[in-house]
Structure 1
Amino acid sequence: MTTMSTPASEPLTRQVSHHVSQSVFDGSRLRVVLLVEVYDGAQQQFLETYEQLRSHVESVPGHLGEQLCQSIENPSQWLITSEWESAPPFLNWVSSEEHVRMVKPLHSCVRDTRSLRFHVVRETSHPAEGADTARGGLQTAPRIGDGVIRHALTFTVKPGSEEAVAALLAGYSSPEPRVDDTTRLCRTSLFLHGNRVVRAIEVRGDLLAALRHVAQQPEVRAVEEALNPYLEQDRDLGDPESARVFYTRAALPAVHHVTAGEEDPAAQRHALSYPARPGRGMRLAQLLAEHDERAADDPNSPVLCSTIFQRDDVVVRLVDVRGGTEAAGDPAVSLGLPDPGRVTELTTLLDGGADGPNGFPATDGGLAHALEGARMDLVTDRRAPDA
């Protein structure tokens, strides 16, 4: 085989599929890699704290096992790898308040962390391995992405402050899109639903580097400081621990993205915030993902692409729609209303569904009417030049 190399200074040619689908719902086993930089002299404290946490993690449903490793070259560098039956159990665990409380003691001895998550595609098996390692499947085929990483943050503001908050968020100056030679901000979309704010960003390159770049911009810091009096959760951006806890709770990961690869410069971006019943957010996100996969294969669908974000019972669906949510095709598709056979299940997942105190009919029309209230108000949607 002939090996070709590309100089570091030249951009890599990306293979982009017309139909892009990225999802946590394929049932594949998950490998989580956590890179940890420990303060000099705090290695023993870090080890003792980790030992206290490990016994708790072992009892989390879906957790298969993990390893803690220390660098042979730099004693301050540690590596934690954990394996999970699939991505949803891990995401439920890592976004829980219990997890936030448990990892707090680590912050005093850790300088920096970086979390990477991978579905297992291939592995070498050994006959002596126990049955536990066989739980969970392998990803059947490699995915082809579009080179864009999608992430969102969400937080709530004090009721009655929505108008002032919207004005602040709409009026800020966009940061420089170029982060470094390999990372670039592509798009930022801000929405309000009641007193909930959702900020969705699209990045090419390193997401963590992009988030740090944005946080360091004076114009962004000024807006964030101006928002502080309106937030329901207090934060002090000058206090690293306060900022860390706030952004940990605000993280809204993308759990599914699909696009048929068709581009339309006139497409409109919309967001919907679905009221999931307690403990049903992940299943609701999965049902919406299944709906959007089918819509992506329908050439008549008005939805060009969709991204679903989920954390606990917060489920947000971002859609780019040809000509608006009702300009083409069935508006129920834009709303995320599944086929008639799944309508009953959807009503059991939505808070205020057929069994709720403010129930609505378990029909297409009843659900479509209810989901109208899920539409979020667009605050601002900004694309970087040449994004």
Structure 2
Amino acid sequence: MTISGRISQSAFDGARLRVILLLDLYEGAQQQFLDAYEHMRNQVASVPGHINDQLCQSIENPSQWLITSEWESAPPFLAWVNSEEHVETVRPMHSCVRDTRSMRYSILRETSPSQPITSQPATEDMQVAARVGDGVVRHALTFTVKPGSESKVAEILAGYESPEAQVDEHTRLRRTSLFMHGNRVVRAVEVQGDLLVALRHVARQPEVRAVEEAINPYLEQDRDLSDPDSARVFFTRAALPAVHHVVSDRPRPADLRRHALYYPAKEGCGMDLARLLAHQDEIAADDPDSPVYGSTVFQRDNLVVRLIDMEGELDADPAASLGLKGMQQTAELERLLDGAAIGVEGSLETERNINRLLSHADMMPITDRSSAES
């Protein structure tokens, strides 16, 4: 099995996906949970890309359950789990479940009774390279605020006191970056260790709770974070998953700057747009002359956000900053991008429109905080 030397993660490696959902039920909620599961199972069975699922109950603690599912690849699962249909499908489970934990894994090797155990992947379609990680989980949340409130929200989000970075022996908050594009807020976090543990730690901090309460009146979509069901639905809808991350293996430059770029896709093209940018960033990571040192692509529905760490300013190399190299890639971006949504019309083959796209896609930085040991 070949391992790439670069630090990277990706939903686009083509491998089958194994999803594991651990659940801890309230006492007496088993029948209600089973009814909700049957409803969900019937719904997900018709979702493109879904292969199968299993429901398991612990033989040691009957309140602990496990749902596993297999998918043709990560993209169809992500499209499903981030959809409004999924939000409504799993809603009946909320009152049954005390705690949940979701994990997603690419299937790299497989052993079946008809095949001997070897050092080679079991089937030709599983020739997927393992990736080198850095122990960091990347995730983002996005939401919109009422038009006209942008400056007030930016002031609130920039002014809070940072919570304690060390969560426990194994988990640490490394970095939080906030950006705005119009009335849309994107908060990207990097966590060393367990993301769920870190997010729960942050949510309990008084300074963070005060900020969340302060921005509530300005949100376009109402929420009540004191109500578990309302909070769960809000964070499910606000989730902006990282679908690709890559860092060059060349020496880390001393003057890296973090930027975020906003790419609204045409209807139904969000995943393809994210895939295009991911491919371009893989190429940039291998290019010793590229100013882009690291990149994370976040995607949900038709919204794509690309977070980059690069040397110099964005306008020093607009094409590289946007993730474009070559006329074919420029034409493909033009085909997938909803240019009218960010004020860019006409061909991206002209330098003027490339610069215009960069200007419109560049998100306004609100705050970028790193822990002392990051």
TM-score range, shorter chain: over 0.9
The residue number in structure 2 matching 1:169 is 157
Q: Deviation per CA, 1:285-328: give whole Å up to 9, x if none.
A: 0000011010111101001100000011110000011122234x
Alignment of 1:194-233 (within 5 A): 194-233=182-221
Q: Give the C-alpha shift of residue 368 in structure 1.
A: 3.8
Aligned length: 364
Q: Deviation per CA, 1:35-91: give whole Å up to 9, x if none.
A: 011111111111111011111100000000010000001010000000000000000
Paired with 2:279 and 2:4, the residues of 1 have a C-alpha distance of: 19
The residue number in structure 2 matching 1:234 is 222
Q: 1:285 aligns with which of 274, 281, 288?
A: 274
- Judged with a 3 Å threshold, the aligned counterparts in structure 2 of structure 1 residues 338 and 284 are, in CA distance, closer, same or farther, namely farther
Does the 8 Å CA contact 2:292/2:320 hold for their aligned counterparts?
A: yes
Paired with 2:329 and 2:321, the residues of 1 have a C-alpha distance of: 16
Paired with 1:282 and 1:158, the residues of 2 have a C-alpha distance of: 27
Runs ≥4 residues deviating over 3 A = 134-137
Q: Percent identity of the aligned residues? A: 64
The residue number in structure 1 matching 2:119 is none
Paired with 1:316 and 1:322, the residues of 2 have a C-alpha distance of: 19
SS of 2:130's equivalent? coil
Paired with 1:348 and 1:136, the residues of 2 have a C-alpha distance of: 33
Q: Give the C-alpha shift of residue 139 in structure 1.
A: 5.4
Q: Give the C-alpha shift of residue 97 in structure 1.
A: 0.2
The residue number in structure 1 matching 2:285 is 296
The residue number in structure 2 matching 1:116 is 103
Paired with 2:260 and 2:344, the residues of 1 have a C-alpha distance of: 23
The residue number in structure 1 matching 2:73 is 86
The residue number in structure 2 matching 1:11 is none
- Judged with a 3 Å threshold, the aligned counterparts in structure 2 of structure 1 residues 242 and 50 are, in CA distance, closer, same or farther, namely same
Q: Give the C-alpha shift of residue 371 in structure 1.
A: 3.3
The residue number in structure 1 matching 2:42 is 55
| TM-score normalized with structure 1 length | 0.90
Paired with 1:117 and 1:23, the residues of 2 have a C-alpha distance of: 12
Q: Deviation per CA, 1:15-36: give whole Å up to 9, x if none.
A: x986212111011000000001
Q: Give the C-alpha shift of residue 142 in structure 1.
A: 1.9
The residue number in structure 1 matching 2:32 is 45
Q: 1:314 aligns with which of 297, 303, 306?
A: 303
Does the 8 Å CA contact 2:258/2:308 hold for their aligned counterparts?
A: yes
- 5+ long unaligned stretches in structure 2: 116-121
Q: 1:274 aligns with which of 263, 266, 273?
A: 263
Q: Deviation per CA, 1:77-128: give whole Å up to 9, x if none.
A: 0000000000000000000000000100001111111000000011112459
Paired with 2:47 and 2:21, the residues of 1 have a C-alpha distance of: 18
Q: Deviation per CA, 1:217-259: give whole Å up to 9, x if none.
A: 0000000000100000100111111111001001111000011
Does the 8 Å CA contact 2:266/2:337 hold for their aligned counterparts?
A: yes
Q: Give the C-alpha shift of residue 278 in structure 1.
A: 1.1
| TM-score normalized with structure 2 length | 0.93
Q: What is the RMSD of the two structures over their aligned residues, measured on CA atoms?
A: 2.1
